[in-house]
């Protein structure tokens, strides 16, 4: 009995050293995920828009806090709630201060052979994926100039936009309620 227990403990310890479950961040267009405690494998301490970043959880005492950060013109809409996804209401391991946060703590796995075996299993993959949507509230355009009795917005606000993209928001050059370009509220503006 003791020999079986020692053998099982040795196998588990080797598994903890050799294997690790993985946490994969799938970040869609519109934002990024920042690591607050442990870095995500990827460029720097964040996983950017339209990327997939993998983090190996190798220590039973591992703690990670991740924050979804929307890009300009986008807003955070929640965490993916599908099976296998760890973030969002009622998920993760502790309540978070903001909906954008995802706190995952596996320190409670220490001393529990079943949970430690799960942590050591490199076949186990967990996911986290924020959802970002275009921010249709927009900020007002305040840095304008008056010329010929007309108020003009700075063209630098709208560089890189295609005519098709502008036309889809402001048909025929006239912008109505809910029209947002590059994060600016375009309601009432006419494009020249």
pLDDT tens, residue by residue, 36-66: 655 555 444 678 888 898 888 877 777 788 8
CA 24 to chain centre: 11
> What is the Cα–Cα distance from 37 to 57, expressed in whole angstroms?
13
Q: Which residue has the tokens 């005519």?
A: 163
- Beta strands (DSSP E) in 51-143 are 51-57, 63-70, 74-79, 101-105, 125-128, 130-134
Retrieve residue 106's tokens.
């596996």
Residue 182 is predicted with a pLDDT of 82
- Beta strands (DSSP E) in the chain are 21-27, 31-35, 46-47, 51-57, 63-70, 74-79, 101-105, 125-128, 130-134, 144-147, 150-153, 180-181, 184-185
Q: What percent of the chain has pLDDT above 70?
A: 80
| 192 residues of the chain, pLDDT tens digit each | 222 322 232 233 333 333 688 889 999 999 999 886 555 554 446 788 888 988 888 777 777 888 899 988 788 999 998 888 988 777 665 555 688 888 887 877 788 888 888 888 889 898 999 999 887 777 888 888 999 988 898 888 888 888 888 888 888 888 988 888 888 888 899 887
Q: What is the pTM of this model?
A: 0.60
CA 114 to chain centre: 30
Question: Is residue 70 within 8 Å of residue 35, measured between CB atoms?
Answer: no
Residue 37 is predicted with a pLDDT of 58
> Which backbone phi and psi does 97 adopt, to 5 degrees?
-75, -30
Residue 12 is predicted with a pLDDT of 33
Residue 42 is predicted with a pLDDT of 45
Residue 142 is predicted with a pLDDT of 85
């Amino acid at each position: 009995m003791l020999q079986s227990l020692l053998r099982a403990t040795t196998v588990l310890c080797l598994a903890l050293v050799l294997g690790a479950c993985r946490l994969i961040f799938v970040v869609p267009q519109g934002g990024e995920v920042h690591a607050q405690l442990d870095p995500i494998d990827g460029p720097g301490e964040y996983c950017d828009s339209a990327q997939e970043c993998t983090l190996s959880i190798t220590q039973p005492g591992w703690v990670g806090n991740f924050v979804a950060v929307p890009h300009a013109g986008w807003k955070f809409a929640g965490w993916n709630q599908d099976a296998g996804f760890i973030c969002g209401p009622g998920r993760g391991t502790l309540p978070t201060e903001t909906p954008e946060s995802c706190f995952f703590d596996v320190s409670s796995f220490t001393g529990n052979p079943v949970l430690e075996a799960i942590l050591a299993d490199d076949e186990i993959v967990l996911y986290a994926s924020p959802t970002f949507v275009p921010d249709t509230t927009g900020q007002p355009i305040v840095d304008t100039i008056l010329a010929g009795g007309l108020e003009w917005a700075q063209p630098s606000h709208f560089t890189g936009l295609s005519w098709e993209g502008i036309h889809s928001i402001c048909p025929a050059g006239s912008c109505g309620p809910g029209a947002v370009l590059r994060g600016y509220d375009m309601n009432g503006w006419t494009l020249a």
